[in-house]
Amino acid sequence: MDIQKYLQEKKRIMDSALDRYFPDPPEGEGEERFSGSLRKAIRHSLLNGGKRIRPILSIAAFEAVGGTGGRILPFACGLEMIHTYSLIHDDLPAMDNDDFRRGKPTCHKLFGEAIGILAGDGLLTEAFRLMTNRSSRDGLSTDPELILDIVHEIAQAAGISGMVGGQVADIESEGKEVDLPLLQYIHTHKTGALILASVRVGAKLGGASEEALRALTRYAERIGLAFQIADDILNVEGQATALGKRTGTDVSRGKATYPSLLGLQESKRRAAELVELAVAALEPYGPEVNPLRNIARFVIARES
């Protein structure tokens, strides 16, 4: 299969779904004019050329276990909205203080810090609104108990025992001596938890068997960590033009990373090994998991 084409096609589906959910704010009339800048700020950050890795993983897992149709879209959008809110807040002056992302000014640089905070808050809240919205289920019957379970898993992955907890540990360890257990905690929580949830939620909604869910969970744990190691490596040797943001920032901030702890070569070896372990977890399955296999390899081959 052509993985680039696959990723492009799914990205197009996601971009268009997100665009429908956050349309251009109407000018002039109606109460919505009072929050026009918020809606613009959200669109700026949400429709900004992201790779859509998390929702694509979700769709790929959904389809791998036999799921069909658009039932996955509200959850795929919700995952991307939660990811985007976390980027907006991470970029704030009190956090990583980044001016550029994907080659464009960050949300708070363009709209001010207050709107940056509120755009993140709004995206996080709207993600839960979308995922629990009856009409976004589109007449398709999905067991409401399963939806509650899925929303709960996403909240857990994004919350203080997941992504937010990882971000706290990351912020607090800047400039300090960091050992491998702490680095692993940061990575598995800050990035890994939401990637894991993306795969598992797609699989659950697609009707995965217990056994398939276990295999996909192992797959997701491994690519989650590989993805973050690859990110660390790109921060060292990536091209700022391809990334659309500054590189070398981890070193200048005294952030612990895989390259700083283990060296570049060993980090690359580990990332490659994790990708092979991820693919190995899918061994019992056929061509229906080819997208997942190829996404795993893409994770460490990407340039941005």
Residues that bind its own copies (CB under 8 A): 31, 34-35, 37-39, 42, 85, 89, 92, 94-95, 112-118, 120-122, 124-126, 128-129, 132-134, 143-145, 147-149, 151-152, 155-156, 158-161, 164-165, 167-169, 171-172, 182, 185-186
Give me 6's structure tokens.
Answer: 């696959």
Smallest CA-to-CA distance from 256 within 193, 188, 174 is with: 174
**Residue 290 Cβ, how far from its own copies at the closest point, in Å?**
33
**Residue 299 Cβ, how far from its own copies at the closest point, in Å?**
25
Using CA atoms, how far apart are residues 156 and 151, in angstroms rounded to an integer?
9
The smaller minimum CB distance to its own copies, of residues 104 and 129, is found at 129
Concatenating the DSSP letter of every residue in 69-133 gives SGGGHHHHHHHHHHHHHHHHHHTSTTTT--SEETTEE-HHHHH-HHHHHHHHHHHHHHHHHHHT-
**Residue 253 Cβ, how far from its own copies at the closest point, in Å?**
13
Task: Tell the residue number behind the tokens 């959904």, with chain if given.
Answer: 62
Q: CB atoms < 10 A from the CB of 59, how many?
A: 23
**Residue 219 Cβ, how far from its own copies at the closest point, in Å?**
23
The smaller minimum CB distance to its own copies, of residues 185 and 298, is found at 185
The smaller minimum CB distance to its own copies, of residues 14 and 178, is found at 178
Q: What are the start-end ranges of the E strands in the chain?
A: 100-101, 104-105
The smaller minimum CB distance to its own copies, of residues 88 and 233, is found at 88
The smaller minimum CB distance to its own copies, of residues 48 and 156, is found at 156
